[in-house]
């Protein structure tokens, strides 16, 4: 993580099983994750990860108990993917809350 084996509280932690846990942050954070082969230590790859604050005010939310007449916020979520698909803008994140959603295909 940004040159520190295993990472740290500021960049996130990689567990011994290889799972990355992002840190809590109040601003966007760029992190470089390096994976290295245990078999051949000369082989590695980097991944650029962008960590964004949870619950950004521009995020949209969908919940099974939501309504498409809502503002699609965390406290007043929308109900359908079709509705959110029609209003989501580049850079926004859509959060899908736990539940069962019945989806239909238009094709």
- Residue spans of the domains in the chain: they are 7-51, 60-96
Q: 25: Cβ–Cβ under 8 A, 6 or more apart, which residues?
A: 51, 52, 53
Query: What's the mean pLDDT in 24-34?
Result: 76
Per-residue pLDDT at 4 exceeds 70: no
> How many helices (H) and strands (E) in the chain?
1, 7
Alpha carbon distance 44, 62 (integer Å): 38
User: Count of alpha carbons within 13 Å of 32, Cβ hemisphere only?
Assistant: 8
* Token pair of 16 as six digits: 């011994």
**pLDDT single digits (tens) 43-79:** 888 888 877 766 556 889 999 999 999 999 889 999 9
Alpha carbon distance 12, 52 (integer Å): 12
**Model pTM score:** 0.46
């Amino acid at each position: 993580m940004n040159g520190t084996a295993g990472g740290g509280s500021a960049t996130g932690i990689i567990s011994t099983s290889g799972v990355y846990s992002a840190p809590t942050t109040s601003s966007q954070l760029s992190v470089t994750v390096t994976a290295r082969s245990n078999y051949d230590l000369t082989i590695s790859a980097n991944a650029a990860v962008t960590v964004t604050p949870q619950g950004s005010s521009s995020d949209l939310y969908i919940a099974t108990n939501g309504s498409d007449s809502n503002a699609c916020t965390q406290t007043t979520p929308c109900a359908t993917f079709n509705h959110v698909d029609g209003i989501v803008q580049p850079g926004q994140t859509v959060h899908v809350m736990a539940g069962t959603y019945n989806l239909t295909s238009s094709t």
